[in-house]
Amino acid sequence: QGHFDRARAVLETCLARDPQDGHALVLWQRLAARSDATVVLTLHADRLITKWTGVAAAQRCSVVLVAIAPVGGTATQWVSSMRCDTPFGRWECPLPFARGSASVCIGRVDASGWSVDAVARPLSWP
């Protein structure tokens, strides 16, 4: 959608005007750390299938899958995770519920805490 390119252009303008602009410098660093990783969650029969590509420093990353399901007036959760280990990969899990929704992300723990590299579009099943 061009958000990254627009943000970069605005920051370049700010830094051209004031190379010491602290806010712009911090945002520039955050843009520089942007990940090209992608992760997709699909449903096949009774399995959730996660596929990822382009994960940098994969050995430092984890794949975290979260599923929720309605239970009465509330919801129950199921969480599973695994080491990413490779820049391109696949992971299959059984459906944790007969009916529910799930999403998956890939990230790492850094000096600031949990840092997300990629998030899959949520998926629901009957």
pLDDT digits (tens, 9 = 90+) for 98-118: 999 999 999 999 888 998 989
* pLDDT tens profile 38-93: 999 999 999 999 999 999 889 999 999 999 999 999 999 999 999 999 999 999 99
Residue 12 has pLDDT above 90, yes or no: no
Distance CA 95, CA 80 (A): 12
Which tops the pLDDT comparison, 19 or 31?
Answer: 19
At the topology level, CATH places domain 38-125 in: Immunoglobulin-like (2.60.40)
Radius of gyration of the chain (CA): 18
How confident is residue 9, by pLDDT bands cut at 50, 70 and 90? confident
